[in-house]
Structure 1
Amino acid sequence: MSTLFRAVYSSVIYGVLLCQLWACSSSPEMPKADEVESLFVDSLFTPVTDIPSAEDIFYLPPDAVVEVRRAFERYSLSHSNTLTAHEWLANYINANQTSTQREFRYQDNLTQIASETYAQRAGNCMSLVVMTSALADIFNIETEFQDIAIEPVWDKQGDFYLINGHVNLRLLPPTNTHTVYVSSHAILVDFMPERALRGYDKTQINRQTLITMFYNNMAAEALVDGDLDRAYALIKAGLKRGQFVPAFNTLAVIYRHRGDEKRAEQVYRYALKFDPNDMTTLYNLAVILGDQGRLDEWAEVHKVLELARIRNPYYYYDMAQQAFDEHQYDEALAWYQRALARADYRHEFFFGLSQTYWALGDEKRAKLNMEKAMALSADETDKHRYQAKLQAMKRH
């Protein structure tokens, strides 16, 4: 398996970790453009032409621009004490359901360009931040982007583990020195406010870095879908806009899935020059070394991983499943509980725990955990499966 990094966002571990995009690390030096260029091997991939440009990412169609301008004009004409543009915009994008403007809401789906997010009134945090920035551009409102150091949220899609990060932005007040504004504070726009209010560390990032993160998100999603050509084109577009260390990890995962482990290892080792303690990159490199039987090198990398003790809840989940299959139910119970201690939002963990309690004869806890699995599942197929299992338990 690989791991990816994704900022909902995403990253990638080959067949194991795909981080959906944030968790930027500060590097003592930045990659050089000519060095980065040498990492690309276009001959391994079929060209893809429909990759959005950086301008496309923030583009809003004329009718959307007119709609937003008119909304602001209507507000200004109907209020004597009008808000500044950045205050109004903050209210506009968070309008409540009873207003004429349907609110923009967080929805953990694909990363989208601004025009798509505006049309759908929904998107993941990366999509919503990009759209809000595009709206701010209409009024020449300055923005600051922030990478939020939240606790990693794990997910699993196919052969990848995903680590989801978070990003938000601040709308800055006008800087006209000839006008005195009653409100001159910056406004935080965060579509997941429970995260914004918990005091996580924040790193300010520039627009170029945000664009690279955006491409990395899309590349991770294409990789999960099995479209290596598109994933490569996207990650190359991102790395040409700016150097974002997790994106190198994504590029390496793409090479490994294409069957070029030598090139993948080269990219992993290049990424480690800038962040030698990045767990995702180290883990993915260890997978290659282990598969190739290079045990001495593997041991050196694994030593670092063990010292940091990978916080991947799916490690404990996989161990639990193995113990369950071997009918070691007490052991499986302990592994499932460790997995849930690290990710108590994964429905499959509760499902496994429910099965284990049932095998141990604890029907009450088995039903309780099956109910939790059903409540947490967003997929209708899983929901129906859990519901059927729960009904069977109740009839027992």
Structure 2
Amino acid sequence: MKFTLPLLLLVSLLQACSQTSAPPPAIAPQTPQHYFAKVDADAIPQVAAFYQLSEAQQQQFLQFYHQTKLQQLPGNKRLEMFLHQQLSNFHYEGKNYSASQTMQLMSGNCMSLAVLTTALAKLVNIEVGYRATYGEPMLNFSGDLFISSDHVRTYLFSQDEPDPDRLITQKAAVAIDYFPDRLDRLGAMFDHRRFAAMMYNNLAADALLADDQNKAFWLTQAALQQDPTYSASINLLGILYRRAGDLASAQQWYEFGLKHSINPAAIAGNYLQVAQELNDNAAIHRLEALLQQSNDDNPYNWFYLAYQAEQQQQQDKAILYYQKLLEQAPYLHRANLALARLYLQQNNNTAARTVLRQALRYSYEQGQVAMYKAKLQAVNERQSGQAQPE
């Protein structure tokens, strides 16, 4: 993949954070909306529309679910069986579909699968939960946007009540996931309102990629009506105001996001660019310190920041951000290679060798193992003077 365009902005399509204590009141900034023309009402779907299924689709599922031979199984297992049967030939594509569209087309992204799973669960009163997971994402550049699609896992909980005589009182659950990779890092659990906000935010990102900033704005507003402190949508609002030339409003939303986000790396990274344009040195120093101290649990926010630092010839910052990324996802070979390259540019052969050895420990594919061994040999030869650095 060629990275030829300047990296300015980050759109995080899927992002979730937990709330372990009562958050401060979310008083959203009152910023002007006249930059963004109203769109037709049907352009902003209602939440219920995400989960609508046709009568035929409902009957197809219910006939399977109520089969006599399956009645000995818990409801969540029966739903899982139906999805496994229906989705054996499912085609993954990065599109956001409603439940009905997903079932009809047998395609979509991980959110589409989660929407369909939720719609079916609603028909038979099965409790649903969601969790962010961070495997290697799809990364893409579009104009001045860096697109990172993360992943969501859906849980179908048992309808049986926990046994009060047992130490473990959590309900049993089955996980519905496109890619249950053993190397995925699990994020926080979240609820239906956060999930709806994520769906609106995905649609807003689609609109932004289509250069429809008006639609993107109002979809983002719909997301924040579901979850007023959803950081991905706050981040997107900052991007939209920045594009509209209103840096002051962008700054207000970024400040709001920092106040309410548990993992603020993506917001801080975009806010830093606005602060630089405003020549706000106090904000610049504060944001740089925040990024150094942050332990954002989404490793791919660090990928964006590291790449941005490289583009700006800030090697030390890039190294720091790649290190943070690899603390979360040591198996991501692109980050290992990038960090080793930066160390070699600084003539730090020892650090480069350490990174490559660590990468070898997390390499399972034959091609990756061979690649890391070859690079380790090249570093050893370079240090011994048998080969000249490029």
Normalised by the length of structure 2, the TM-score is: 0.68
Equivalent runs, 1:66-145 vs 2, <5 Å: 66-73=59-66, 76-77=67-68, 79=69, 82-95=72-85, 101=86, 103=88, 105=90, 107-145=92-130
Query: Does the CA contact (< 8 Å) of 2:247 and 2:278 recur in 1?
Result: no
C-alpha distance in 2, partners of 1:138/1:321?
Answer: 50
* Secondary structure of residue in 2 paired with 1:187: strand
Cα offsets for 1:121-175 (capped at 9, x unmatched): 1221111111101011122222222233x25636132112233322112212234
Residue type of the alignment partner of 2:265: M
Aligned residue for 1:39, secondary structure, equals coil
Structure-2 change in CA distance of 1:316 and 1:298 (3 Å): closer
Matched letter for residue 141 of structure 2: Q
1:306 deviates by 4.0
Distance 1:264 1:29, change over 3 A: farther
Count of paired positions? 310
Listed one character per residue, the Cα deviations across residues 196-255 of structure 1 (whole Å, up to 9, x for unaligned) are: x45744422111111111111221222222211111111111111222233211111111
- Deviation track 1:319-350 (CA, whole Å, cap 9, x = no partner) reads 77899xxxxxxx9xx99xx799885469xx9x
Q: Distance in 2 between matches of 1:125 and 1:292?
A: 38
Corresponding position: 1:153 with 2:137? yes
Equivalent position of 2:291 in the other structure: 305
Displacement after TM superposition at 1:296 (Å): 4.0
Q: Is the 8 A contact 1:94 1:104 kept in 2?
A: no
The residue identity in structure 1 corresponding to 2:257 is A
Counterpart in the other structure of 1:186: 173
Q: Which amino acid aligns with 1:301?
A: L
Distance in 2 separating the partners of 1:298 and 1:322: 15
Q: Which residue of structure 1 lines up, in the alignment, with residue 244 of structure 2?
A: 258
Say which of 244, 256, 265 aligns to 1:279: 265
Q: Is the Cα–Cα contact under 8 Å of residues 27 and 275 in structure 1 kept in the other structure? A: no
CA shift in 2, pair 1:39/1:152, >3 Å? farther
1:394 matched residue in structure 2: none
| Kept in 1: contact 2:18–2:189 (CA 8 A) | no
| Cα distance, 1:40 vs structure 2 | 5.3
CA contact (8 A) 1:93 1:104 kept: no
CA–CA distance in structure 2, aligned partners of residues 293 and 307 of structure 1: 23
Seen in structure 2, the aligned counterparts of structure 1 residues 32 and 219 have a Cα distance that, compared at 3 Å, is: farther
| Structure 1 unmatched runs, 5+ | 1-13, 96-100, 178-183, 324-330, 353-371, 373-396
Decide whether the 8 Å contact of 1:143 with 1:171 is kept in 2. yes
Point out where structure 2 has 5 or more consecutive residues left out of the alignment.
Answer: 1-6, 163-170, 342-366, 368-390
Deviation of 1:192 after TM superposition, in Å, equals 1.3
